[in-house]
Amino acid sequence: MKIVAADVIVASPGRNYVTLKITTDSGSHGLGDATLNGRELAVVAYLREHVCPLLIGRDARRINDVWQYLYRGAYWRRGPVTMTAIAAVDCALWDILGKETGRPVHELLGGAARDGVLVYGHASGQTLDELTDDVAHYLELGYRAIRVQAAVPGLDSTYGLHHPGTGHTYEPADGAAPADNVWHTPAYLDFAPQMMAAVRERHGYGFHLLHDVHHRLSPLEAAQLGKSLEPYRMFWIEDPTPAEDQEAFRTIRQHTTTPIATGEVFNSIWDCQTLITERLIDYIRTSVSHTGGITHLRKIFDLAALYGVRTGSHGAGDLSPVSFAAALHLDLTVPNFGIQEYMGHLDPAGEVFRTSYTFQDGYMRPGDAPGLGVEIDEEAAARYPYSPKYLPVNRLRDGSMHDW
């Protein structure tokens, strides 16, 4: 079964998505998500100029060999652009294998190890009243796990809040240049325990509570935050410190029992080797589309299983429905699954991507359609041309750059 075409589809149904479509001489095609938020065209160029020409004529069934060829066969390897491109190829080949064999990808991975995939939704608010109302909304929808973010008093902008009018999701990438945000750690460290207290006071402890710090603290500040949140029994705090410094997590670990999750910016098993083997984190959050696809992510998850680290993959709206479906198939099969982020996709994304996954009572299921179970409507995609958008940048009050 030879690959005869590999096409890159760039579209912006609500936000930018890059989709790789691989076609075989047997008439099958498969999809992979190649979206890298704010750096979309770098992946498009890497695919179109350097990867797609190498795929033509290769056997689509040899997923492991194609992966090794694109990773090990490249002298300049790793990094988000390369690994997102490889992920798109890998997911598209799993999709093809599923369609050719008539089976959903989770069956090809050894079959379901659970009945459903626990997901967490995103509640936020400009005030604590707005936040706790939003938590009520998610509880009514049936969510058993909820991430909470609220505007930090004294800051002009805060990460992770719904834009007015966008419904229950948020979109940090905006504008043809990065927005300048201002960050002040003391204001945040004072506010975070008040936020969790308000949520637990109104809604109790009958659901999992999560929070994303988004890489902003020093190790000791993160330890202070973890300690101050212990009474609220967090499911996790996410990305407490800039994630490339794996050793930094030792300090956090020494001081607090609040569980730690990280990994959405990682691209390979080498990025989290120390974190996992030294048990410095509780949840590994790498995503299928930024970490080399199903083939590589399952290796990370297997390493994590050996050390009692559970999974908690990134599932923001800037990962397309193709990526989300791939995540659900893998989540269903791994023994050490923890939780899956689910932000959803707003229309008109639904005009472009037809999905078969479902949500019920706080759990999601990928469905039994052959392959990944997502199709793209290319005519609809053509109606939504690419529009450049940037993620914000962060500065401290004195003007110096800070992690966003």
- Measured from the CB of residue 287, what is the shortest distance to ligand EZ4 in angstroms? 9
Residue pointed to by tokens 């914000």: 392
CB-CB contact of 158 with 187 (8 Å): no
Q: Which does 346 bind (CB under 5 to 8 A by kind): ligand EZ4, Co ion, none?
A: none
Stretch that binds ligand EZ4, among 109-117, 194-202, 252-260, 312-320 (CB under 6 A): 312-320
Count CA within 13 A, CB hemisphere, residue 342.
Answer: 26
- For residues 252-271, which are near ligand EZ4 according to CB under 6 A? 264
How many residues form the binding site for ligand EZ4 (CB under 6 A)? 10
Q: CA 294, CA 86: separation in Å to the nearest integer?
A: 10
Please select the residue that binds ligand EZ4; options are 33, 100, 212, 221, rule is CB under 6 A. 212
Stretch that binds ligand EZ4, among 42-50, 98-106, 241-249, 313-321 (CB under 6 A): 313-321
All residues at 6 or more sequence positions from 36 whose CB lies less than 8 Å from its CB, including other chains: 18, 42, 43, 80, 81, 84, 290
Please select the residue that binds ligand EZ4; options are 318, 330, 369, 374, rule is CB under 6 A. 318
Identify which of residues 66 and 222 has a Cβ nearer to Co ion in the complex.
Answer: 222
Identify which of residues 40 and 264 has a Cβ nearer to Co ion in the complex.
Answer: 264
Q: CA 106, CA 113: separation in Å to the nearest integer?
A: 10
Please select the residue that binds ligand EZ4; options are 214, 216, 345, 389, rule is CB under 6 A. 214
- For residues 146-175, which are near ligand EZ4 according to CB under 6 A? 172
Closest residue to Co ion using C-beta atoms: 212
- For residues 21-80, which are near ligand EZ4 according to CB under 6 A? 37
Is 339 a residue that touches ligand EZ4 (CB under 6 A)?
no
Q: Which residues of the shown chain bind Co ion in the complex (CB under 5 A)?
A: 212, 264
The residues annotated as belonging to the active site are 159, 214
Identify which of residues 312 and 373 has a Cβ nearer to Co ion in the complex.
Answer: 312
Q: Which does 37 bind (CB under 5 to 8 A by kind): Co ion, ligand EZ4, none?
A: ligand EZ4
Identify which of residues 4 and 391 has a Cβ nearer to ligand EZ4 in the complex.
Answer: 391
Identify which of residues 35 and 224 has a Cβ nearer to ligand EZ4 in the complex.
Answer: 35
Identify which of residues 315 and 373 has a Cβ nearer to Co ion in the complex.
Answer: 315
Contacting positions for ligand EZ4 (CB under 6 A): 37, 172, 212, 214, 264, 314, 316, 318, 341, 391
